[in-house]
Amino acid sequence: MGVQIEVDEAIMPQIDRLAKSSHRSRTDLVNEILRKGLRRESTADKVRRFQESYQKFPQTPQEIDELSEWEDVQDWGDQ
């Protein structure tokens, strides 16, 4: 399915150069760029929601102590 969008004329030369140098069509290049951008936004949204959840429900001192004890018995292979 095709959809038309407007692209800023100022970036068209850069898109054309990159498409040509990578032997891809404009469409393929723009689709790849959009996919990467959407993944990045999705990841950023997940990180933001994770951070917000910790702000709403921070770890208790007991949970922090338990984690510290667990870390002490782990073999991290760095010693």
| Domain definitions of the chain by residue range | 10-71
Q: How confident is the model at residue 52 (pLDDT cuts 50, 70, 90)?
A: very high
Please, what's the b/e burial string for 60-75 (b: 16 or more CB within 10 A of its CB; e: otherwise)?
eeeeeeeeeeeeeeee
Lowest mean pLDDT among 5-9, 16-20, 58-62: 58-62
pLDDT of residue 62 exceeding 70, the answer is: yes
Mean pLDDT of 46-73: 87
CA distance 28 to 40: 18
pLDDT at 71 over 80: no
Query: Residue 8 — φ and ψ, nearest 5°?
Result: -55, 125
Whole-angstrom distance, CA of residue 73 vs CA of residue 54 = 25
pTM, entire model: 0.60
Q: Are 26 and 19 in contact (CB under 8 A)?
A: yes
